Structure 1
Amino acid sequence: MRDAEIDPNGERPYECFACGNIIITDTNPVTCPDCSNPMRNRQTPLE
């Protein structure tokens, strides 16, 4: 099985920790535009 190639300059999904809002963008939105809470890159696994 091969890993999927990820374009580091392409669009990525970000999810809000609090409200679950999902944004697809090529820049890192630090805070959610809906509730101002932190967002995370969904392609980065949580440990």
Structure 2
Amino acid sequence: MRDVEYDPQEESAYECFDCGTIVVEESCPRSCPDCGGSMRNRLTTFE
């Protein structure tokens, strides 16, 4: 369930799992620009 419409053409915020850096881009960055850690889309629920 989501309360936010996902539009793949819009820029999204991605957050690093390791250091918490937030990057806004159109597509998911492969790794964090600060520490090299994995990134996640902040619109995707995290359990």
Return the TM-score normalized by structure 2.
0.82
- Contact 2:4/2:43 (CA < 8 Å) preserved in 1? no
TM-score, length basis structure 1: 0.82
Distance in 1 (CA, whole Å) between partners of 2:31 and 2:7 is 23
Q: Match for residue 28 of structure 1?
A: 28
Alignment of 1:1-47 (within 5 A): 3-47=3-47
What is the total number of aligned residue pairs between the two structures?
Answer: 45
- Tell me the C-alpha RMSD between the 2 structures: 1.2
- SS of equivalent residue, structure 1 residue 31: coil
Summarize deviations over 1:19-42 as a string: whole Å, max 9, x none: 110000001102101100000000
Where has structure 1 moved over 3 Å in runs of 4 or more? none
Q: Give percent identity, aligned residues only.
A: 51
Query: Which protein shows a greater Rg?
Result: 1
Where does structure 2 lack aligned partners over 5 or more consecutive residues?
none
**Structure 1 residue runs without a partner (length 5+):** none
